[in-house]
Structure 1
Amino acid sequence: MKSLLRLLVAFASMLIIPTTPAQSPARLEVIVFPGGFNWPIWVAQEKGFFRENGVEVNITLTPGSVFQLVNLIDGKFDIAITAIDNLIAYREGQGEDPKLGPDLIAVMGCDQGFLKLVTVPEVKSFADLRGKTVSVDARTTGYAFVLFEILDRNGLREPDYKVERAGGVLQRFQALMDKKHDGTLLLSPFEVQAEARGFNTLASASQVLGPYQGLVAGVRRSWAEKNREALVGFIRAYARAVDWLYDPGNKAEAVALFRKNLPNMPAEGVEASYRLLLDSQTGFQRRGAISLDGVGRVLSLRSKWAEPKKELGPPSRYYESMFYDAAMRR
């Protein structure tokens, strides 16, 4: 009997499958501009989409594009949610800082600009901007060329107006509210808060320019190739968050999450933000799909306004699709 018992115990031990500890999620350092356009990231964090896709995301808010791009190039951050124009500028040696980012690429689209030209209450028309001061993040990167083009199409070129650097969108918004400048480009939903205080929206970039690729997820190619699975997981989680936001059944929870992250936004501003950021035509890019036509518009503006002048590549030069394609296959 004892022999039989020992035999059964030995057999049972063979059936026990050794377990291995669960792999911890890959930690990603992500740098973003502050604002409601980070809604998909908030959703992906709150709903556990990042963790489900094997990543843990630590968010840093940038004071401006120079800080963001220089530190992305130096490897202090893994992913930057930034204007694709910033990636192009630093890749082509046209950035505000001389540091080069020769392997900077976009791997996912976020939006088509969300850009509005907002002015102080006293400036009610483009003619009123003559002799006034407009602010930009940096003269050679980001959305400065969009601003110059909008003004140009409405009969204004330097020295008809002065240009001052004022930092990222939050810093420009605060400076505009303090009337340190007379106009600037804001990303939605900042214009909602400005309009509530009597400021004016003179133009929407999408209406003036047509297709325009705004924010993207930008990385260094060398980092992306070494961290493929983590990057694919980030893209997949972000795309799922955008899908979740567009589902009307999630509106109440989405609005509550928005208010949690922007507690000072009044209720009417939150409702306006929902309409703007989730507009079926001009809202977040569904599934994180980039617009190559929009990238083409970015390149045409850079060719017109950037210094030093140089021949830029086709849109596909600045976007690598294989990581996005891998994310969408799963």
Structure 2
Amino acid sequence: MPLIVCALFWAIYPDFARAAELITLRYGQNAASAGSLSSLPLTVAERKGFFTREGLNLVVVPIPGGTDRIVAALDKGEIDTGKNATPYLIQAVLKGSDAVAIIAQTTNPVYSLIVRPEIKGFADLKGKVLGLSTPGDTITLSALRLLAHNKIKPADFQAKAVVGTSARFDCLKSGECAAVPMGQPEDLGAIRDGYPRLGFTYEAGADLIFNVDMTRRAWGEKNRDALVRFVRAFAASYEYMNDPKNRAELTNIVKESLKVSDEIAREIFSPYTQPDKNVLPKRGELNLKAFNQVLALMGEAGVIPTPVMPADRFVDLHYLKMAGIQ
């Protein structure tokens, strides 16, 4: 009799049965980026059920206080995986962290160099204060590359560390900063308010890896199956986002997530559809040449020792290979 009751229970409640079989992974991300454009791959994967399809119960753990704290949470065992800006992973590993990148996230997000109305060209930035992010941050590194591409060297201006797009815009509006890098959609709002765009960071090269998903090497060795499923789920999200057939749906997700109009959503998502912008990986592949480029720029900026270590010190391709992606 009890066997019949159990069989009836699982037949009536199949979702409960599936949930009981799911592997739980705790996924850390910057609390400030929840629902933002940088979370689009996660949002798509959750909406399309890619984690559940892989037998995963992904529990998103918001980490307050900045991306450097995500590695700290990983090292403490408070999360199993997490998204982080590549430079923060590199700096943590050089200080002894067991963290390692296992899949690429957004590779080259769109940042605009927004300037005050009186700035008419790059030459006008000489002798001015520029509000960048922290030294070694990918936003700072890509902005410096754009400036160098236009013959503006670090000695030509004064850099001020200002963390966060909204804080940098405040610096610009106050007149303290002459130029700042801004992400989407805030850059479009600044332009509407009369602050011109001098250029996009990708104009100096779209060959970096801004963000990665990571785990601890030791934990990963013991939980390979779960991480391969995790990698496959995100790979499916990137494939879905890169498929032209899904552009209308994705534009709508951007509209809903950022609470913007159809027109702005289409403008924001447009670079994602252009292969030369390299905003997204095709399937989450980790391009070691691009990773080495980040290391080289960090070395040139003096934020890590030189000569810099190779990318494979910070990357583990086993999970991508086991998932048949790389």
Considering the TM-score relative to the shorter chain, is it more than 0.5? yes
Q: Does the C-alpha gap of structure 1 residues 114 and 47 become closer, same or farther in structure 2, counting only changes over 3 Å?
A: same
Cα displacement string for residues 196-250 of structure 1 (whole angstroms, at most 9, x for unaligned residues): 3333332333331352222221222223223323322222111111211223332
Identity %: 22
Give the structure with the larger helix fraction. Answer: 2
Contact kept in structure 1, 2:91 and 2:304, CA below 8 Å: no
Aligned with 2:220 (options 224, 227, 238) = 224
What letter matches 1:197 in structure 2? D
Contact kept in structure 2, 1:189 and 1:276, CA below 8 Å: no
Structure-2 separation of matches of 1:37 and 1:239: 16
Contact kept in structure 1, 2:296 and 2:308, CA below 8 Å: no
Cα displacement string for residues 122-158 of structure 1 (whole angstroms, at most 9, x for unaligned residues): 2232222223222233223433233333334434344
Superposition map of 1:1-330 within 5 A:
22-32=20-30, 34=33, 35-53=36-54, 54-60=56-62, 63-92=65-94, 100-122=95-117, 123-169=119-165, 171-172=167-168, 175-176=171-172, 181-263=177-259, 265-281=260-276, 282-307=278-303, 309-328=305-324
1:170 Cα shift? 5.3
1:109 Cα shift? 1.3
Structure-2 separation of matches of 1:154 and 1:252: 36
Greater shift, 141-150 or 33-42, is seen at 141-150
The secondary structure found in structure 1 opposite 2:293 is helix
Contact kept in structure 1, 2:299 and 2:305, CA below 8 Å: yes
1:26 Cα shift? 0.5
Show structure 1 runs of 5+ residues with no match: 1-8, 93-99
Q: Which has the larger radius of gyration?
A: 1
Pairs aligned (count): 309
Show structure 2 runs of 5+ residues with no match: 11-15
Contact kept in structure 2, 1:134 and 1:161, CA below 8 Å: yes
Contact kept in structure 2, 1:55 and 1:233, CA below 8 Å: no
Contact kept in structure 1, 2:108 and 2:206, CA below 8 Å: no
The secondary structure found in structure 2 opposite 1:202 is strand
1:183 Cα shift? 2.3
Structure-1 separation of matches of 2:263 and 2:145: 31
Structure-2 separation of matches of 1:124 and 1:62: 38
What letter matches 1:39 in structure 2? L
